[in-house]
């Protein structure tokens, strides 16, 4: 990494030395010439002092959270093993991407090799953290040296998640056409129901406790336990959202809000016991949540890099033949004609949340059975969600 070899003080010292050398020679004033030579040589000696020593370093970073959410703060611990003669005098700083913000700099420590700072997620996406930069100077502050050490570290900033209200219990029960069924095995599982032995049953499935209790040969019948399905669709068709003007342009604030709402809705359904499929408007599966922590992380990583693209498909083709229970569609600019063609796909509780919808679009969608609400980048997503929640009376009435 290149940098200016001299500090402002060093440049001033060198220029003064050159001027005094010229003046001393012109005026035949040896004292001025001596001082000029000294001021000219001193920055060069300082440059040799900071540039000649060979240095190498090893850097390892530990971040307190694997996935950093927008608005969340994480602590970073950096172990910096510097192999160099003596202890350099200078400052260190870690190179931060635009996705995070923090004061990742400080004076190089004399005793410890550990450096600490805090990061705050400011922009959703995947970026690199590092390299670590050490800027040192000579004792007079005339020359400087800037070096980069260690490898970069990948950091993922995921969308912010907001607390949302649960759906009414009867609304959730209406979505009993579940696609996902799970069989739990193990001692004491309530869904392991013994039944009489039938010809062809494997002897490995014999339920010995039930056999001893009833006196007849019994086997395990693994009852499939259905959990109600929910589907969340993020409409990321390019026509729904504002286009970024350049590669370094700020992201569309409305789309960022929509991604946060998508993550919040999916995790809300998981908390309520649903199996959740998160799809985009083209039918691409962004995440499948089945109650495991890895499922959540996988969804958040997928949403960290999602961007507007392509065109939307018919919602019935996206959702599939079997109607889900709760269905949430999160979209952007929605015209009256688009809303009039938007099918609920037979969902028990269809919810439409739109940013930038026209005046009559939400009314047209509501006429087709949607429970609608509008949101924008500055609105409270919890309020928009609450406005779109169907009541049990409306669902069953």
pLDDT surpassing 80 at residue 267: yes
Res 181 pLDDT > 60: no
Q: Domain spans of the chain?
A: 8-51, 56-158, 169-177+227-396, 184-223
Q: Considering the chain, what percentage of its residues have pLDDT values greater than 70?
A: 84
Task: Tell me which CATH code domain 56-158 carries.
Answer: 2.60.40.10
DSSP 3-state of 186: coil
> Which class is domain 169-177+227-396?
alpha beta
For residue 91, pLDDT beyond 50: yes
pLDDT one-digit tens code per residue, 296-311: 999 999 999 999 998 8
Whether the pLDDT of residue 173 is over 60: the answer is no
Q: What is the pLDDT of residue 203?
A: 59
Q: Provide CB contacts within 8 A for 46, sequence distance 6+.
A: 10, 138, 140, 142, 143
Query: DSSP letter at 241?
Result: S
Of residues 380 and 159, more confidently modeled: 159
Q: What pLDDT is recorded for position 248? A: 59
Q: What is the mean pLDDT of residues 119-126?
A: 93
CA dist., res. 201 & res. 39, Å (int): 97
Cβ neighbours for 190, distance < 8 A, ≥ 6 positions apart: none
Indicate the pLDDT class of residue 192, thresholds 50, 70 and 90: low
pLDDT at 174: 42
Whether residue 177 has pLDDT greater than 50: no
Task: Decide: residue 225, CB within 10 A, 0-12 exposed, 13-18 middle, 19+ buried.
Answer: middle
* Mean pLDDT of all residues in 7-31: 93
Task: Kindly report the pTM of this predicted structure.
Answer: 0.77
pLDDT above 50: residue 276: yes
Let me know: does 134 contact 92? Beta carbons within 8 Å.
yes
pLDDT tops 80 at residue 120: yes
Confidence tier at 396 by pLDDT (50, 70, 90): very low
Instruction: Give the mean model confidence (pLDDT) for residues 138-154.
Output: 91
d(CA 369, CA 133): 58
Banded pLDDT at 7 (limits 50, 70, 90): very high
- Condensed to tens digits (0 to 9), the pLDDT of residues 54-71 reads 889 999 999 998 899 999
- The confidence score (pLDDT) of residue 226 equals 46
Among the listed residues 89, 80, 88, the one whose alpha carbon sits nearest the alpha carbon of residue 113: 80
> What is residue 223's predicted lDDT score, i.e. its pLDDT?
43
Which of residues 238 and 245 earns the better pLDDT score? 238
pLDDT of residue 212: 64
Segment 315-326 mean pLDDT? 80
In contact, 365 and 387? CB cutoff 8 Å: no
Q: What would the pLDDT profile of 198-241 be if each residue is shown by its tens digit? A: 776 765 566 766 766 676 777 766 544 444 589 999 999 998 99
Q: Token pair for residue 175?
A: 């979505």
For residue 249, name the pLDDT band (cuts at 50, 70, 90): low
Instruction: Report the C-alpha gap between 92 and 135 in whole angstroms.
Output: 6
- Beta strand residue intervals within 73-207, DSSP E: 73-83, 90-94, 100-101, 105-107, 114-121, 125-129, 132-137, 144-149, 153-158, 181-182, 192-196
**CA atoms within a 13 Å half-sphere pointing along the CA-CB vector of 290:** 10
Q: Looking at per-residue confidence, does 393 or 282 come out higher?
A: 282
- 173-203 burial, b at 16+ Cβ within 10 Å, e below that, comes to ebbeebbbeeeeeeeeeeebebeebeeebee
Q: What sign does the dihedral 246-248-250-251 (CA atoms) show?
A: positive
Cβ-contact 373, 328 below 8 angstroms: no
28-45 burial: b if 16+ Cβ within 10 Å, else e: eeeebbebbeebbebbbe
Alpha helices in the chain (DSSP H): 8-27, 30-51, 169-173, 208-214, 253-271, 293-304, 315-319, 336-340, 361-367, 381-388, 392-396
First to last CA, the chain: 70
In whole numbers, what is the pLDDT of the chain averaged over residues? 84
Answer whether 178's CB lies under 8 Å from 229's CB: yes
Span 86-107, average pLDDT: 90
Q: Which of 359, 362, 331, 326 is nearest to 344 (CA)?
A: 326
Query: pLDDT at position 286, please?
Result: 93
């Amino acid at each position: 990494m290149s940098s200016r070899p001299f500090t402002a003080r060093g440049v001033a010292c060198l220029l003064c030395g050159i001027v005094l050398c010229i003046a001393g020679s012109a005026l035949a004033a040896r004292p001025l010439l001596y001082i000029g030579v000294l001021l000219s040589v001193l920055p060069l000696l300082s440059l040799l002092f900071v540039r000649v020593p060979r240095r190498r370093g090893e850097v390892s970073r530990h971040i307190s959270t694997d996935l950093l959410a927008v608005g969340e703060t994480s602590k970073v611990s950096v172990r910096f093993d510097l192999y160099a003669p003596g202890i350099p005098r200078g400052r260190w700083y870690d190179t931060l991407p635009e996705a995070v913000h923090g004061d990742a700099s400080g004076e190089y420590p004399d005793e410890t090799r550990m450096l600490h700072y805090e990061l705050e997620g400011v922009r959703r996406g995947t970026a690199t953290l590092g390299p670590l930069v050490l800027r040192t100077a000579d004792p007079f502050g005339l020359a400087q040296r800037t070096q980069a050490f260690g490898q970069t570290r990948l950091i993922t900033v995921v969308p912010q998640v907001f607390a949302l209200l649960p759906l009414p219990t009867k609304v959730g029960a209406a979505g009993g056409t579940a696609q996902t069924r799970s069989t739990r095995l193990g001692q004491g599982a309530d869904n392991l129901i013994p039944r009489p032995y039938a010809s062809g049953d494997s002897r490995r499935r014999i339920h010995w406790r039930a056999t001893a209790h009833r006196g007849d040969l019994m086997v395990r019948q693994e009852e499939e336990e259905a959990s109600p399905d929910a589907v969340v669709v993020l409409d990321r068709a390019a026509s729904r959202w504002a286009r970024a003007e350049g590669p370094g342009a700020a992201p569309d604030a409305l789309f960022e809000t929509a991604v946060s709402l998508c993550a919040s809705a999916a995790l809300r359904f998981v908390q309520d016991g649903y199996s959740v499929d998160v799809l985009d408007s083209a039918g691409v599966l962004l995440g499948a949540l089945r109650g495991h922590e890895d499922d959540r992380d996988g969804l958040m990583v997928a949403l960290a890099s999602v961007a507007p693209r392509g065109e939307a498909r018919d919602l019935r083709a996206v959702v599939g033949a079997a109607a889900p229970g709760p269905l949430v569609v999160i979209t952007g600019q929605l015209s009256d004609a688009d809303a009039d063609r938007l099918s609920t796909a037979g969902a028990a509780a269809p919810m439409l949340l739109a940013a930038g919808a026209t005046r009559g679009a939400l009314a047209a969608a509501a006429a087709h059975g949607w429970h609608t609400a509008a949101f924008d980048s500055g609105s409270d997503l919890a309020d928009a969600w609450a406005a779109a929640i169907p009541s049990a009376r409306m669902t069953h009435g």
